[in-house]
Amino acid sequence: MATIRPEVTGRKTSALGIAAVGIGHNRGPPLEDWIELQRIISLKEAARYSGPSVDTIKRRYADKIIELSLRRIGMRLGDALMLSAK
């Protein structure tokens, strides 16, 4: 059975000639983007990304706030971006 060249199928191959299994087009977001959405940002930065003020975020979205230490609180970047979608 003849093999089909990768440039014909559009599949990427590894150095061994085996089809690369990974995340990419039509298989989910690239891993780097997913990790970036898990980054914790300050509430001031979250307010800048999402629109509501820091006080509104504290009042309405307390379940998404992460306590980093006694004086520091933050929110995941993905959660902050989802606030603007509501």
The model's pLDDT over 52-61, given as tens digits with 9 standing for 90+, comes to 999 999 999 9
Q: What does the block give as tokens for 63?
A: 């379940």
Indicate whether 18 pLDDT > 60: no
Q: What does the block give as tokens for 57?
A: 């975020």
- The sign of the torsion formed by the CA atoms of 13, 14, 15, 16 equals negative
The model's pLDDT over 28-55, given as tens digits with 9 standing for 90+, comes to 556 677 888 999 999 999 999 999 999 9
